[in-house]
Structure 1
């Protein structure tokens, strides 16, 4: 009982750390992104806006009651493909009018979400919660990508091994990066495959995922559906 309780607690902590599983693109794109990975990209974009400090940040559906149907099975507990909303709080200096500073930060967040990740964000709700006495400290430079849990090797010649090889050969994929309760980066459910992977920050996340889905579907020996869960966005030095 103690072991089971510990495993359950670990799974809950892991899910809280990852945040929501956000749809990327539209219903046909079969791609999701962890909120944790999205937040890293957005905070780096915000750090490039002078005179502001991004504090609280959440991403979720614009309409909590909206219903979207993905073209392929979604990861467990993932949000459906619906428009998204960024809710954030920030601090800003008085070097310029606060609404001007907020607009610049809002534009940076929206640009990073759509132009770098492919999130279907239609609203950025930003509140200036604090007036800063001076410039905010610079964002610490990103460290090496977190390797996460070790990836279990796939059985040679299996569908999973073929899918893993096809996915990691796509430009912009940095590694398999499983997070959802398994050490395998490729999950099989009948004729459906889900790949959990990391992409490079200098590539458009949705474009990479689209190429992965095509490459995997073409490589495996029999027809499958393919979903991609982007679990990290790696800054490569």
Structure 2
């Protein structure tokens, strides 16, 4: 890869934010912070009287994580409860605690629709909106992550890619951390080496991201002859 190529790859990965656990320790699924944050912002647009600012999603307890059932994507956080921290501006027509409660409920509901395990939603008011201000404005959603064509041919990567695209709720394959389908052989300490597949994809907003990712895991494992372990990374919800 050229110097310009490395620079672009680093910028793209930084734009994804953290790689967050999606679901529990046994699910083997992850989602980027940019994808989950975009879904939260989409929901916040419907909350009257507030304007969502910065959003951060991080482990609720760095010491309370669990070991994932399958090898995680590069730099992924281990499974465990998450904390959403957000700033917002509120209209002056109602008490601030009431506005915060409505926004907190909306963000919690959006996180549950994704499949995030959220223990806390911390909110901080950073501004008051005057009459005439448009409270519905939020920061624009993140641009689409890199799109990757399904691998071509009759190899296992191509077979896995076609199987993933056939799962309801998958809109496209993505290539945020590398190839959309990455298969490798991983050593085992107490057994023969086993292959492991990682699939990167985008999901439709009307489908629960966790349910789609779990279906992809099962489908890809079944379509490959040796039934490898499978991890799924959701990089966009659209």
Q: Give the TM-score normalised by the residue count of structure 1.
A: 0.89
Q: Which residue of 2 aligns with 1:187?
A: 182
What CA distance in whole angstroms lies between the structure 2 residues aligned with 1:31 and 1:49?
29
What CA distance in whole angstroms lies between the structure 1 residues aligned with 2:162 and 2:5?
30
Q: Is the 8 A contact 1:23 1:33 kept in 2?
A: yes
What CA distance in whole angstroms lies between the structure 1 residues aligned with 2:25 and 2:86?
26
Structure-2 change in CA distance of 1:177 and 1:104 (3 Å): same
1:179 offset after TM fit, Å? 0.5
What CA distance in whole angstroms lies between the structure 2 residues aligned with 1:149 and 1:132?
36
TM-superposition CA deviations, 1:34-77 (whole Å, max 9, x none): 10011111001111110000001100001123332100000000
Q: Is the 8 A contact 2:33 2:57 kept in 1?
A: yes
1:139 offset after TM fit, Å? 4.4
1:178 offset after TM fit, Å? 1.3
State yes or no: 1:73 paired with 2:71: yes
Q: Is the 8 A contact 1:51 1:92 kept in 2?
A: yes
Q: Is the 8 A contact 2:148 2:180 kept in 1?
A: yes
State yes or no: 1:96 paired with 2:94: yes
1:14 offset after TM fit, Å? 1.7
Equivalent of residue 220 in structure 1, options 217, 221, 224: 224
What CA distance in whole angstroms lies between the structure 1 residues aligned with 2:109 and 2:213?
19
- For residues 19-58 of structure 1, the aligned pairs below 5 Å read 19-58=17-56
Q: Is the 8 A contact 1:171 1:208 kept in 2?
A: yes
1:136 offset after TM fit, Å? 2.7
What CA distance in whole angstroms lies between the structure 2 residues aligned with 1:149 and 1:88?
27
Which structure 2 segments of 5+ residues have no match? 186-194
1:185 offset after TM fit, Å? 1.0
Which structure 1 segments of 5+ residues have no match? none
TM-superposition CA deviations, 1:170-191 (whole Å, max 9, x none): 10001101101x3x31011111
TM-superposition CA deviations, 1:87-115 (whole Å, max 9, x none): 0110001111000000100110011001x
Q: Which residue of 1 aligns with 2:188?
A: none
Structure-2 change in CA distance of 1:8 and 1:65 (3 Å): farther
What CA distance in whole angstroms lies between the structure 2 residues aligned with 1:87 and 1:169?
35
Count of aligned residue pairs for this structure pair: 227
Q: Give the TM-score normalised by the residue count of structure 2.
A: 0.89
